[in-house]
Amino acid sequence: MSQDIVILAAGKGSRMKSSFSKVLHKVGGVAMVRRVLATAASMTNAKLHLVVGHQGEQVTNHCQDFAANVVWQNNPQGTGDALRRVASSLQSEGSTLTLYGDVPLIRPTTLEKMAALSTPNTLVLLTISLDNPTGYGRIVRNADGNVCAIVEQKDASAEELAINEVNTGILLAPNQPLQTWLAALTNDNAQGEFYLTDIIAMAAKDGVDIVTVQPENEAEVAGVNDRVQLAALEREWQQQQAIQLMQNGATLLDPARIDVRGELITGEDVIIDVNCVFEGKVELGDGVEVGPNCHLKDCVVGKGTVIKSHSMIDESQVGEACDIGPFARLRPGTRLANKAKIGNFVETKKANIGEGSKVNHLSYIGDTEMGANVNVGAGTITCNYDGVNKHLTQVADNVFIGSNSALVAPVQVAEGATIAAGSTITKAVGEKQLAFARSRQANKDNWPRPVKN
């Protein structure tokens, strides 16, 4: 059956105290509304509608790749008002699922349960039973146990306030009767708003079957109104990711201290120490070890590689059995072949480092093609920028580069060559040549040291 999915994202979110839309705040590195849209887009035969209002340009620009039908709700008057504005865009047949841009952790499996119960004469409600239902609309059932209405807290009687089954706001309604119900909505209530929940009583009156589904946990239907609630959902999301990683064979030395802000794929026997952050898409092969306080973004790391503490890897590819860090930074375009070593306080950028090559410490290697079994001494830099353009440094296999050397690109160092420590290399070095380029030492007797004024 065809399905319209309406995502409500028009609220101001004033309690966030933010210069941008509430639904653009992130959980797990992804804007809340994008999480909801992605879940909606995974449903079968889904036609997406996005209702925007306050800061709507921000929201539509951020979500334009979903190709949703954008509907504006200026001067919003409740959830029923939002659906009324979408009504003319809904399909004549099928059903409409209502979701919320600030309820980001709803699961596809829950929505699929709802869809499985949908018929042209069935309205499906997502409800949840809470120990403390304060603030939620209550699910009112008749003597037979059938849902007959939803009463908002401000309009509820003392008896209704005692009900602990509450409305999540997520419902799936058949389109044909929905159009009639939306047209009949009024704002005769304490808030002066058009409540979407009022259609429940209309459906009961019309003899439509009203069935309920409950989510696996409360976090699925938790909304965000302020930064405290946002932080709580962030922790919930990270806990879910930690559990999944451990179930897939990774060891987390402290599951409460990991942040996955994208997709993290791990092989067997991966070990991740505390306070590591993973952004974008990161793949870790079997046996990879990640030390504490590391930051990995959009990278692939081959099996058996060890990444020591406080290292950052960004848009790079790392081979097998490599040794990285501590305090190393691999910038975009870095490619390490198997068994390469990048040591402490080394930075690389757009560099191909060959198999078994070592850049052990205190060096910068950028715009470089480096062969196998190269040894780079401490303090070596490739001078790749002339102030306007970047240039390439080419280092062949088995080269030895002494400490504190500068290779001024464009320059080539052939196989087996040696660069003497402290050299500034501006010309090509041939095979097995020794290159040394430094001033002759001069010692002056009785030289007066500077004194403090």
| CA distance to 47, 182, 200, 315, per residue, from 151 (Å) | 30, 17, 10, 52
CA distance 430 to 418: 10
C-alpha triplet 217, 223, 227: angle, nearest 5°: 120
Catalytic residue among 54, 295, 361, 391: 361
CA distance 413 to 426: 10
* Residues 282-305, mean pLDDT to the nearest whole number: 98
Tell whether residue 349 is among the known ligand binding residues. yes
Q: Do strands 122-129 and 165-174 pair parallel, antiparallel, or not at all (unpaired)?
A: antiparallel
pLDDT digit string, tens, across residues 68-104: 999 999 888 899 999 999 999 999 999 999 999 999 9
Q: Note the pLDDT of residue 377.
A: 97
CA distance 274 to 411: 42
Q: Is 387 exposed, middle or buried (0-12, 13-18, 19+ CB in 10 A)?
A: exposed
Tell whether residue 11 is among the known ligand binding residues. yes
Tell whether residue 452 is among the known ligand binding residues. no
What 8-state DSSP symbol labels residue 216?
Answer: S
Give the architecture-level CATH label for domain 227-435: 3 Solenoid (2.160)
Query: What residues does each domain of the chain span?
Result: 3-221, 227-435
Tell whether residue 192 is among the known ligand binding residues. no
Look at the chain and count its residues.
453
Which among 265, 221, 266, 258 is positioned nearest to 240, based on CA atoms? 258
Q: Between 12 and 404, whose confidence is greater?
A: 404
Looking at the domain covering 3-221, what would its CATH class be? alpha beta
Both tokens of residue 260?
A: 């996955």
Tell whether residue 10 is among the known ligand binding residues. yes
Q: Note the pLDDT of residue 76.
A: 83
pLDDT digit string, tens, across residues 312-331: 999 999 999 999 999 999 99
Q: Note the pLDDT of residue 1.
A: 64
Alpha helices, DSSP H, located in 342-387: none
Please state the φ and ψ torsions of residue 191, each to the nearest 5 degrees: -90, -15
pLDDT digit string, tens, across residues 242-274: 999 999 999 999 999 999 999 999 999 999 999
Tell whether residue 101 is among the known ligand binding residues. yes
* Residues 404-426, mean pLDDT to the nearest whole number: 97
Most distant CA atoms of the chain, gap in Å: 107
Please state the φ and ψ torsions of residue 429, each to the nearest 5 degrees: -115, 130
Residue 279: strand pairing partners: 261, 297
In the chain, the percentage of residues whose pLDDT exceeds 70 is 100
pLDDT digit string, tens, across residues 90-143: 999 999 999 999 999 999 999 999 999 999 999 999 999 999 999 899 999 999
Q: Note the pLDDT of residue 2.
A: 76
| CA distance to 165, 204, 205, 400, per residue, from 143 (Å) | 16, 13, 15, 87
- List own/partner pairs for 384-388 with CB under 8 A and 24 or more apart: 384/409
Both tokens of residue 121?
A: 């004469």
Considering the chain, what is the average pLDDT of its residues?
95
Q: Note the pLDDT of residue 426.
A: 96
* Residues 397-409, mean pLDDT to the nearest whole number: 97
Please state the φ and ψ torsions of residue 108, each to the nearest 5 degrees: -55, -35
Tell whether residue 223 is among the known ligand binding residues. no
Model pTM greater than 0.75?
yes
Q: Note the pLDDT of residue 186.
A: 93
The question of whether 361 is a catalytic residue gets the answer yes
What 8-state DSSP symbol labels residue 16?
Answer: G
pLDDT digit string, tens, across residues 196-206: 989 999 999 99
Check pLDDT > 90 for residue 308.
yes
